[in-house]
A and B are shown apart, each in its own frame.
Chain A
């Protein structure tokens, strides 16, 4: 699809979210729910006492009972429908011919871990902090956006072999 048209659709979905719920879109928040649930199941007392996990399970609330968890389940379905419509459904590991499949997987885990860690530090990822934050003109949104994309440009040279 033409990227500007895809951007308009994405923007309208984001606007609808603000109109209906008063909040934007998100992704890392749902992943946090998964982590909190896992920790709580394995080590309940520890999770309750933690300053990080504790606030999501206080008063017996279930962290999976959250708006963002259901929204991300929708992303899975929406992505699948789009892939099916455009004939892009296939099991594969996408990587540059300059690197092996194994290296790509290792880099993906490493990059994911950094992004996951950073999303907690920065109170949201590209969706929740940067995109939704910018839509409401929040200073935090603009700063996070510049920090994410600016840093990626600075480090792009060192990782070029992985992509081109």
Chain B
């Protein structure tokens, strides 16, 4: 029965070793997907390369369906897995700022680590910038604390919010993803930039 570590109280050393090994898999998958290239990542917003869309939604669906089935076969107790806590204002404001950061910088934190690992100097600069941004938030924290803590809804699920079962929500996400994949494949033909995609 999972999750293994919280249930069986595994030692911290082994826990960190597992973190390191999972990280290797994470980094390998990101780099193989082509996420070590900022122009490839940014391609999603101009249509010439929609790899981000395909990888992101495929990964989310595999994990979503996996969690659903592991729970169904009683191999994973989903009542004790971490469901992100929802603070309405800060989730939206944070997401909007991150979105601007994405189109300006061309990476997100995870992909920048992966790109820096293969020698991309722009990724290293981005990483430095991220640390600076986190530091600025830390230093100005008292200014944001009210809005940061406002409208707390707890670890609530989308399925609960709209009043449908988890299974039906996953089915709807699968349908949405298939439509988006189809649009993505179409966009790559319509907005193709062989000059860019060839060098990536």
Contacts and interface: CB of A to CB of B under 8 A. Distances in A.
A3 B196 contact: no
B39 A3 contact: no
Interface residues of B, number: 129
Contacts of A83: 31, 36, 117-119
B5 to A, nearest CB: 5
Contacts of A140: 84-87, 91, 155-156
B67 interface: yes
Contact of B5 (A15, A22, A120, A131): A22
A78 B138 contact: no
A155 B103 CA distance: 7
B109 to A, nearest CB: 4
A71 B23 contact: yes
Given A3-B34, A25-B26, A155-B103, A19 B4 contact: yes
Contact of A125 (B83, B98, B120, B160): B98
A10 B63 CA distance: 9
Contacts, number: 521
Contacts of B94: 118-123, 129, 144, 147
A11 B55 CA distance: 9
A156 B107 CA distance: 14
Contacts of B67: 15, 18, 135-136
A7 B29 CA distance: 8
A1 B66 CA distance: 22
B179 interface: no
A113 B58 contact: no
B15 to A, nearest CB: 7
Given A6-B33, A94-B37, A139-B86, A18 B63 contact: yes
Nearest 4 A/B pairs, CB to CB: A111-B105, A74-B23, A122-B94, A147-B95
Given A14-B26, A110-B105, A113-B132, 7 more contacts: A10-B26, A20-B3, A21-B22, A89-B119, A109-B132, A122-B97, A151-B98
Interface of B: 2-6, 12, 15-34, 36-39, 42-43, 45-46, 48, 51, 54-64, 66-67, 70, 75-76, 78, 80-88, 90-123, 125-138, 141-142, 144-145, 148, 153, 155-161, 166, 169-170, 173, 193, 196
